[in-house]
Amino acid sequence: MSFSDVCRSNSGVKLKASAEPPALTREPKSDKQESIMEMGNGCDLFNEMKNNFLSFKKHKYMENLEHFQALSKAQAPKFMVIACADSRVCPSNILGFQPGEAFMVRNVANMVPTYESGPSETNAALEFAVNSLEVENILIIGHSCCGGIRALMSMQDEVDSSSFIRSWVIVGKNAKLSTKAAASNLSFDQQCTHCEKESINCSLLNLLTYPWIEEKVKKGELSLHGGYYDFVDCTFEKWTLDYKGSVMEGKNRVVVKNQSFWC
């Protein structure tokens, strides 16, 4: 199964098949008619955005002008949030973060590569958040029905170097291996759910491969948290990495504390 097939099977979008090429299944239109229609649709979309922005300006920005003016000079968020790029998973919406409260990074399947993996936009953001902004918490949020995790679980052992997606999600290979070992008796969908959570823990361990992150965690200046948002049932699980316990496990397994379930 290709990554495109995986995405289609989980996107909720229904595709209508046709035996004929698209150009033969619709009536010909002039270039002028087509561009007017496209422009009209685009205007509708951006008019809605405009109205949303003006509402934000009136009801949030102007009513909290002093706060936003302070933010224009500097930011001091207590959280860094690493979440999936999935359009259904917006940390600000589901957890109520306001401007200035969380430094956010979003990527496919909310993964954190190891320090040894080399530069990426995710570890560049980590360096800035931890060393410059001095955030006190890093929260990695995974979610249900994750297409990136499904792609990871569908992959063969060999990485397809022609696919950016496959080359990225291989970051979660250890999560896949541990899922296969622990949940091989489950259905594929259940294995994907297991891996969605296991991948969060693997990324938490990957954070400890960054010397400047581990140093702050060891000193108690930085806490690492995992979160899992199930948008099917609208529930949220949260846990915190127990650094001392994880070190005793050789940093091969996450030991957690302060687990909670919000529903």
Domain ranges for the chain = 29-74, 77-262
Secondary structure class of 25 (helix, strand, coil): coil
84 is annotated as contributing to ligand binding? yes
7 by Cβ neighbours in 10 Å (0-12 / 13-18 / 19+) ranks as middle
Regarding the domain delimited by 77-262, which CATH topology (the fold level of the hierarchy) does it fall under? Beta-carbonic Anhydrase; Chain A (3.40.1050)
146 is annotated as contributing to ligand binding? yes
44 is annotated as contributing to ligand binding? no
User: What pLDDT, on the 0 to 100 scale, is given for residue 67?
Assistant: 97
90 is annotated as contributing to ligand binding? no
pLDDT digits (tens, 9 = 90+) for 131-140: 999 999 999 9
Residues 108, 168: contact at Cβ < 8 Å? yes
User: What pLDDT, on the 0 to 100 scale, is given for residue 213?
Assistant: 98
What's the pLDDT band for 40 if we cut at 50, 70, 90? low
pLDDT digits (tens, 9 = 90+) for 150-181: 999 999 876 667 889 999 999 999 999 999 99
Phi-psi region of 159 (alpha: psi -120 to 50; beta: other; left: phi over 0): beta
